[in-house]
Structures are given as C-alpha cells and as structure tokens.
Structure 1
Amino acid sequence: MRTLQLENKIVKIKEGELVSYSVDGHEFIHQKGSLGWGSSDTEMFPIIGPVNEAGFMVQVPKANAVQDQHGHLRLLSYDLAENSGTSATFVKEYKAGTPVTNKKYPEKSDKALLVWPYSFRFEKFFSLTDQALEIRFKVSGERDMPYMLGYHPAFKLTTDNPIIKNNHKQISLAEVLAVGSRALEVPNCNEITLVDEKRITIKTEGFGHFMCWTEVNNMVCIEPITFYPYSVEQRKLHEGFQYLNNEKTFKVKLISGD
C-alpha cells in the first residue's frame, strides 16, 4: 500500500488502484468489499464496452483482436516506477501477441486467452496538489495503434439523493440506475460534479465524454471515456478507435469542495 499526503488530503494506492481519497477525513472513494462493485478504480483499454455479441473479436488493421469487456489492460499488473510523499507512478507494459489469461473464462466468456496485436506502455501518475488529486495516463507504443481509453473510478455515496451535474444538465441517481449495465452517456463533456454529502468535481483533458454507471444506491461510477461503446453495434466497435501518434496523455483532476 502506498500513501500520499498533502495537508488535509490523503491518498492510498494498492498495486496501482486508487483505494482511498479522503479530504478532511471524508472518504470519496467506494470501498472494496462494499455493496456494488469489487474494485475502486480501473482503466478500460484498449477497448471500452462488451464484445460478447461479436464473438469476443474486435476489428483492427492488423486483423481481429481477441478481447473481452473493457479490454485486457486491467488483467495486467502494475509495477511501481516512482514514489514520493505526494506522487507515485505505475507502469504496465505489453508485448504484441502475448496471450493474457481471461479471468471471465469460463463463467462469462468462452475465450480463455486474450491477445492484442500491438505493443504498448501504459503509465498511471498520481499527484497531490493544493487544489486536487491529479491522475494522468500516458499511452505510448506502436504508431497508428488503435485504442480507446476509459477511466473507471467509483465514488462512495452517503445521502439518499445525490446529484450528478455539468453546465448543461442535472442527473439523478435514479436516472443512472434506470439505464442499468449499459451506463448513462454524458456526451461532449469535460467536467462533472457529484453533489452528495460533500462535493467533488471530475475535470478531464483528452477524453471528451463521460458515462455513469451503478446498480446500487451507495456508489456511482463517473467514467471519463474517449468513446461511448453502446452508440454502435458490438461488431462495429472499431468505429470508436483513436490512433496513436507515438504517445498521448490524458488527465483527470478530482477537486473536492463544499
């Protein structure tokens, strides 16, 4: 467990996963073991969304790739690259064509191994500042590699009627629950505020959209994404790809405030 602290802000990270972010003693992150989801944050890469209806295959320029829901990055382990009192860097590296054991097999998938035909390096940076917890992602690898990226943090809820809002709309928890497993799309948006017992704003660079998901009333995932996967049929998921030009950086700031 790595702990970062700056004045009234404390961050705890376990093997690259953000398991706690507290400000003045208030916990913002969904706790593992609580009802709702078995994780507290993860990344969706190099695809977002399910592919079961497409035979767990995704069309890419180098032929079809064998993937499962939200991609195989989450199945790889992070290595700690740097650590200080207020920052930490974690890295995952993947070599093209390396089989990755699929944890969903055989209960939820008929693919025991997942394969991606491109090599890449994925870096996750945590940094505490006076204003926020900043999380940055740097993707580097083969030129023109297709990819999507989504960040999947889960926020703890402590009131009966939390509100998710941006400059254009206000969303109730009931609206997110009604969409179910598909997740509620919030398009063309770089900033969302969750208003609960305490307020936290998720401000992003590089993603462009959000989606919101929960199936319980004690947590909600507010997820920056580069592409909303349910806007196309699963066999056309490749239509949502961006293409890498050596490297790309994405930013998420978690800004707390009453």
Structure 2
Amino acid sequence: MTKLSLKNQEVQIDQGELISYQVDGHELIHQKGSPGWRSSDTEMFPIIGPTNKADFRVKTPKGMAIQDQHGLLREMEYELEEATETKAVFVKRYQADTRIKNSKFPEKSSEEFLSWPYDFTFLKSFHLNENGLEIDFEINGGEGMPYMLGYHPAFNLTTENPIIYTQEREITIPEVRAVGSRALQVPNQTSITLENQLHLTIKTEGFQHFMLWTEVSNMVCIEPITFYPYAVEQSNLDNGFKVLKGKKTEIFKVWLLPKK
C-alpha cells in the first residue's frame, strides 16, 4: 500500500489503483465491496470499448490485435518506481506480441490470452498538491503505434441528489443510469464538476471527451477519454486511434480538484 498526505488530504494507492482520496475526512473514491463496481479506478488502453461483436479483434497497421473490452493494460500489474510523501510513480512495460492472460476467460470471453503488436511503457503518476490530486499518464512506444486512452475512476456518492455539471448542461445520476452499459457521452469537454459532499472538478489535458457510467445510486464513473467507442461499429474501432508521432511519447493529465 502506498500512502500520500498533505495537510487535510490523504491518498491510498494499491499497486497503482487509487483506492482512497479523502479531503477533510470526506471519501471521494468509490470503495471496493460497495454496490456498483469491483474496482475504484483503472485505465483503458490501448483501446476503449467492447470487442465481442468483432470476435475480439482490432485492426492495426501491423495486423489484427486480440483485445477484450477496454484493452489489455488492466490485465497487467504495476511496478512502483518512485514514492515520496506527496508523489508516487507506477509503471507497466509490455513487449510486442506477449500473450497476457485474460481474466474474463472463459466466463465472459472466448479469448484466453490477449496481445498487442507493439512495445510500450505506460507510467501512471500521482502528485498531491495544495489544490488537489494530479494524475499523469505517460505513454512511450514506437513511432506510429496506434492507441486510445481512457481513465476510469469511480466516485463515491453520499448525497440524495448529486449533480454533474458540464459547460452546457446539468446531468443527474438517473440520466446516467438510463443510458446503461454504453455510458453517457459528454463530447468536447475538458472539465466536469460533480456536486456531492464536496464540489469536485475533474479537469483534463490531452483527453478530448468524457463518458459517464453507473448502474447504482451510490457511485458514478466520470471517465476522461480520447474517443467514444460507441460512435462506431466494433469492427471499425480502429477509426478512433491516435498515433504516436515524432518524440514517440505522449502525456495526459487529470486533476481532481475538491472544494467545499
């Protein structure tokens, strides 16, 4: 367990997973074991979205990749690279075409192993500062590697009628639940605010959109994404790829900014 602290803020990270973020004793992160989802946060990489209708195959310039929903990164384990009182850095390293055990097999998937035809290194960093918690993602890979990236945190809901604010609209939890497993698309936004026990603003850099998902009233996932996967047929998921170019490194940022 890795712990960060700064004044009224406390963070707990379990092998790269943000399992607690408390501000003045208020828990902002969905707790494992509570109804809704078995995790508290994870990443979607190198793809976002389901693949079952495409026979778990995704087109890449190097041929078909075997990918289950939201990619193979979540099936790998983080290694702790660095830890201080206010900072922690975790890393996952992947060698092209390495077979990764699929935890959804055989109950929810026909594919026992997943693979990707590119090398990559994926860093996830937590930085606690006076304003809140910054979470950075650094992707290193070969030039031309296609990818999507989504961050999938779940937030604890404790008030009767929490509201999600975008620049254009207000969104209620029943509205999010009504969309179901597809998740509610919030396009062309770099900031969203959740009004609950505290005002929590989720601000991003590098991500273009959000999607919102929950099936319960006690938590909601507010997910920064580079691409909304339900905009295309699963067989055309490659239409949503970004590509590593030039420096072959991309950095994405998420800030969790709480206010009373």
TM-score (normalizing by structure 1): 0.99
Offset at residue 199 of structure 1 (A): 1.3
Correspondence for 1:216: 216
CA distance in 2 between partners of 1:118 and 1:52 (Å): 22
Q: Report the AA paired with residue 94 of structure 1.
A: Y
% same residue:
59
Q: Report the AA paired with residue 182 of structure 2.
A: R
Question: Which aligned pairs between 1:36-75 and structure 2 lie closer than 5 A?
Answer: 36-75=36-75
Deviations along 1:97-134, whole A, 9 cap, x unmatched? Answer: 00000000011110001010000000000000101100
Question: Which aligned pairs between 1:82-101 and structure 2 lie closer than 5 A?
Answer: 82-101=82-101
CA distance in 1 between partners of 2:72 and 2:112 (Å): 12
Correspondence for 2:11: 11
The reply to whether residue 251 of structure 1 matches residue 250 of structure 2 is no
Q: Is the 8 Å Cα contact of residues 26 and 197 (structure 2) preserved in structure 1?
A: no
Offset at residue 166 of structure 1 (A): 1.4
Correspondence for 1:169: 169
Q: Report the AA paired with residue 249 of structure 1.
A: I
CA distance in 1 between partners of 2:198 and 2:256 (Å): 13
CA distance in 1 between partners of 2:107 and 2:82 (Å): 37
Deviations along 1:129-187, whole A, 9 cap, x unmatched? Answer: 10110000000011110000000000000012110111111101011000000000000
Correspondence for 2:236: 236
Q: Is the 8 Å Cα contact of residues 12 and 19 (structure 2) preserved in structure 1?
A: yes
CA distance in 1 between partners of 2:162 and 2:201 (Å): 13
SS at structure 1 position matched to 2:236: helix
The answer to which of 224-233 and 194-203 deviates more is 194-203
Q: Report the AA paired with residue 218 of structure 1.
A: N
Correspondence for 2:159: 159
Offset at residue 27 of structure 1 (A): 0.3
SS at structure 2 position matched to 1:189: coil
SS at structure 2 position matched to 1:29: coil
The gaps in structure 2 that reach 5 residues or longer are none
Correspondence for 2:130: 130
CA distance in 2 between partners of 1:145 and 1:160 (Å): 45
Deviations along 1:12-48, whole A, 9 cap, x unmatched? Answer: 0000000000000000000011110000000000000
CA distance in 2 between partners of 1:66 and 1:111 (Å): 8
SS at structure 2 position matched to 1:104: coil
The answer to which of 165-174 and 205-214 deviates more is 165-174
Q: Is the 8 Å Cα contact of residues 191 and 201 (structure 2) preserved in structure 1?
A: yes
Question: Which aligned pairs between 1:140-159 and structure 2 lie closer than 5 A?
Answer: 140-159=140-159
SS at structure 2 position matched to 1:134: strand
SS at structure 2 position matched to 1:98: coil
CA distance in 2 between partners of 1:160 and 1:193 (Å): 17
Correspondence for 2:102: 102
What RMSD, in angstroms, separates the aligned Cα atoms of the two structures? 0.5
TM-score (normalizing by structure 2): 0.99
The number of equivalent residue pairs is 258
SS at structure 2 position matched to 1:123: strand
Offset at residue 198 of structure 1 (A): 1.4
SS at structure 2 position matched to 1:22: strand
SS at structure 1 position matched to 2:237: helix
Q: Report the AA paired with residue 254 of structure 2.
A: V
Correspondence for 2:121: 121
Offset at residue 238 of structure 1 (A): 0.2
Offset at residue 91 of structure 1 (A): 0.1
Offset at residue 228 of structure 1 (A): 0.2
SS at structure 1 position matched to 2:255: strand
SS at structure 1 position matched to 2:130: coil
CA distance in 1 between partners of 2:5 and 2:196 (Å): 23
User: 4+ residue runs of structure 1 moved beyond 3 angstroms?
Assistant: none
